[in-house]
Chain A
């Protein structure tokens, strides 16, 4: 048979080159797809920063660009947490801001003028392209199959579980952290395979970068030691493991301690103790292995083993003792609540109140991972086939991450990479078997391997697939699943994850799009109509946005470091005006911002978060604020005529429904979120006056009244202005006198 022109390209060394080129092209295409599928929101709305935390990161980045790195490092921010302020430079993970700052300066150097906002918006999609590449590298280490890496990269590029945190505009730590996570794991696997100091040091370097970028670095800090520990337990100690682990631990710990926010935590916090413990253990094991070479007798070896076990036990006991006596800080609250799932709800309501800290129901898994979720167990099973060191890693990671993802919705993000790896392993195994053109001849029968260690299902040798029919059936159905996956991912991204949540979109009955831009409307009102240092009080969710968009000082924000201060705001919101007003005066509050969705049916409003305010306030002032008071006698949370007095008199209730009834014909006022009819009369506000209400009533701003000129209390002053005659009864049993200083 004459060599066709195709054979020249596909065989020999030029064939290798062709395949390499193809692979590069495919990877570039995957990266491009990963970036472009995250641009829905930019195309639909505009280049805008999303949600809450990104607004702070954006503000911090701007500060970094304007003032340089050193003043960013020492940044004391007096415009948040009024009147306390926040040592921002020492309490944030600077990796994200520094990354975009560096990109900004490089682009400037190349004389490409790009606005810093566009860099921030596009950072997450850009890094997701890199994540796909890192995924290719990681998966290629796990499998001999040439297709596994490419499949994994493609999965990682478009799976909604990762897109949810990395669409354009979602300028959050996770944007770069997932790339760093995957790449660090790739370097770690490389280090374990080669036992080289270079790879170990590179792992440490990227681990340090990860520490500077995201609090989730603790996951790596615990996963790598666990991997080593399991390897030791399996009797797989080797110098490769020793070299890579000790290099990583020593350099990585030093690196992570350079971040001011982390500081001495790696040697003082229980979250990091497993890494330290395994570091000690591996020294012991290495020593024992070293001695064993020189000792002949079996007894000595037994003695040695028991010595190692004893020392390990003593060390472990010592650690426990140290953490009980308080030298080592106990588990941090967020980390602890992963193990004791009831812990946060009782002790740290502020953690439990965040919606992304809720447990995950099964539809969320399918929503975020589609058919990868059932390829995932199959892929993990295949790892047991060879079970080399790197496969052990996949298994541990899979089990641990699926537990975490089940406990907390946001940790779906750490599960996604390993699901992509495992699913790619499974799918590539199918494709490799069914996409072979040659048919096996029936005569050739390889010898059966007699390896007891391998799995029962894979003891026989691989023969191959005989008929074209079976091949086409399987390949066709797999192609169908893959196409469905792409359609699913696009649909999910477009529908669920591309809303900036600062700007909302809804469909009018005629199908046209209706943009709800109330937040920005209100924030720009604040920016233009209030003095530069007007203090705004709102629930903490909106703190970052007010700081970023309205540029006004806030009392509390999304960095929830001071529970008491948040509880103060909660108390002010949930108490009667007579109690709240002194609090507002004491904190110099000029404006109060509430989010109200009753007109539009926007369910994420403050009245729906109200119980958390009450709960958090109750944690500090159990005698003054009681959750029970906000429920009716039958245990219902109501806002209508039958709402409890505590509810009706609370500042939040009054601010939400102030004048709302005037929009409707008498007695017809309707709250579209809670689907209830409201009382006929609008609640009476005495100490605040309405300053601004946005177009769809989502954001309502109230100005805190100054003290009355005539020294009356506000309820009397309002009654006087309305022309009401002062009732005699009030003389004897008037409302409480305000004390303000």
Chain B
């Protein structure tokens, strides 16, 4: 019995010594595991990498790149993160400054996410070393929260601020030769196509109706608030709380995507009626037909404008004007 306990004691001591002696090598181990400076982690290796006697910085991103989670930010940042890790590994840096870049995906590290009680992803953690020349007294990780789409430069400068003073490698964006070559090829192809097809294309380009249509569509889109949709990323439609759809957003400063399309259509109808009255009707030779056309277009104009006013009234409650039908 005594022997057993002694053996057990011995083995635990040995394992303790072994694990202690292995700490300095943890850095080289993960360094060798990494592909282009980045280590793919799972729950176990995450625990191992961040366990306390460490003489290196561990910079770890907790992310969820699988399309199932619908984390757009995570997927957008993936390539940027690669870029940061690669720039660091390739660049020149102080010899004794050791940094490991790691990625923990939600699929491999559910336990860690639960342990850290993370509700959102991605989250960037920086674990300072606890031993060695750059050791910090507080071994708590620093946390970077992503509030919106962010570029590698911003994150890199944040990381850089939390590393010790000294020269650090620049963030190098690789030159995309493929893109340059393809751009040149496409440009040349376009020039050639224009040169060859010019007899066929020129009549189209010089077609006044086409340009009129393009300009009118552009104007209608812009004046019906498409740019607002584009910049603010408004929803297309929203429910009204009773299971139906509300087409018009409440309030003067809000709008839905569908709403702007309805408004653009209203403007288009009104403009077209105006054009018809101003240009087409006076050119009709048949008096009866002309009478009918005038009546139709005037009615269309009147009703649509009345509808537009009523729509505007719903947006701006205090608006006092209206036209009969609506």
Main secondary structure of the interface of B (DSSP, over half): helix
Measured in the bound complex, the distance between the Cα atoms of B290 and A374 in whole Å is 23
Q: Are B222 and A402 in contact (CB under 8 A)?
A: yes
Q: Find chain B residues with CB under 8 A from A129 CB.
A: none
Q: Find chain A residues with CB under 8 A from B272 CB.
A: 378
Residue-wise, chain B 154-188 has the 8 Å CB interface mask toward A (1 for contact) of 00001001000000000000000000000000000
CB of B275 within 8 Å of the partner chain: yes
Q: Find chain B residues with CB under 8 A from A387 CB.
A: 208
Q: Find chain A residues with CB under 8 A from B219 CB.
A: 376-377, 380, 398-399, 402
A622-B305 contact, Cβ under 8 Å, with A362-B260, A374-B270, A453-B208: no
B residues 265-296 with Cβ under 8 Å of A?
Answer: 266-268, 270-272, 274-275, 277-285, 287, 290-291, 294-295
Q: Are B316 and A367 in contact (CB under 8 A)?
A: yes
Q: Are B212 and A381 in contact (CB under 8 A)?
A: yes
Q: Find chain B residues with CB under 8 A from A627 CB.
A: 147
Interface size of A as a range: 35 or more
CB of B228 within 8 Å of the partner chain: yes
Residues in B lying within 8 Å of A, measured CB to CB: 145, 147, 158, 161, 208-209, 211-212, 215-216, 218-220, 222-228, 230-232, 252-255, 259-260, 263, 266-268, 270-272, 274-275, 277-285, 287, 290-291, 294-295, 298, 301-302, 305, 308, 312, 315-316, 318, 320-321, 323
Residue-wise, chain A 469-488 has the 8 Å CB interface mask toward B (1 for contact) of 11001100100110010011
Measured in the bound complex, the distance between the Cα atoms of B321 and A364 in whole Å is 16
Q: List 5 A-B contacts (CB under 8 A).
A: A363-B315, A374-B271, A407-B227, A481-B305, A487-B321
Measured in the bound complex, the distance between the Cα atoms of B286 and A442 in whole Å is 8
Q: Are A407 and B252 in contact (CB under 8 A)?
A: no
Q: Are B225 and A361 in contact (CB under 8 A)?
A: yes
Q: Which of A429, A455, A461, A477 contacts B212 (CB 8 A)?
A: A455
Q: Find chain A residues with CB under 8 A from B277 CB.
A: 430, 434, 474
Smallest beta-carbon distance A466→chain B, Å? 4
Smallest beta-carbon distance B191→chain A, Å? 10
CB of A384 within 8 Å of the partner chain: yes
Question: Given A466-B290, A473-B294, 17 other A-B contacts at CB below 8 A?
Answer: A341-B230, A361-B228, A362-B223, A365-B225, A373-B267, A374-B270, A376-B219, A380-B212, A382-B278, A384-B211, A395-B211, A399-B218, A405-B223, A467-B291, A473-B298, A481-B305, A628-B147
Smallest beta-carbon distance A185→chain B, Å? 18
With both beta carbons as reference points, the residue of chain B lying nearest to A467 in the complex is identified as B291
Smallest beta-carbon distance B308→chain A, Å? 8
Q: Are A491 and B225 in contact (CB under 8 A)?
A: no
Smallest beta-carbon distance B231→chain A, Å? 5
A463-B260 contact, Cβ under 8 Å, with A365-B225, A406-B227: no
CB of A298 within 8 Å of the partner chain: no
Q: Are A402 and B275 in contact (CB under 8 A)?
A: no
Q: Find chain A residues with CB under 8 A from B280 CB.
A: 457
Smallest beta-carbon distance A436→chain B, Å? 9
Q: Which of A361, A460, A481, A495 contacts B253 (CB 8 A)?
A: A361
Smallest beta-carbon distance B276→chain A, Å? 8
Smallest beta-carbon distance A125→chain B, Å? 25
Q: Are B228 and A429 in contact (CB under 8 A)?
A: no
Q: Find chain A residues with CB under 8 A from B305 CB.
A: 371, 374, 481
Q: Find chain A residues with CB under 8 A from B287 CB.
A: 442, 466-467
Q: Find chain B residues with CB under 8 A from A69 CB.
A: none
**Ranked 6 nearest A-B pairs via Cβ:** A406-B227, A362-B225, A470-B294, A374-B270, A402-B222, A378-B274
CB of A329 within 8 Å of the partner chain: no
Q: Find chain A residues with CB under 8 A from B274 CB.
A: 374-375, 378, 426, 430
Measured in the bound complex, the distance between the Cα atoms of B315 and A467 in whole Å is 40
Measured in the bound complex, the distance between the Cα atoms of B213 and A384 in whole Å is 10
Q: Are B294 and A381 in contact (CB under 8 A)?
A: no
CB of A458 within 8 Å of the partner chain: yes
Measured in the bound complex, the distance between the Cα atoms of B216 and A454 in whole Å is 17
A463-B285 contact, Cβ under 8 Å, with A365-B225, A373-B223, A429-B279: yes
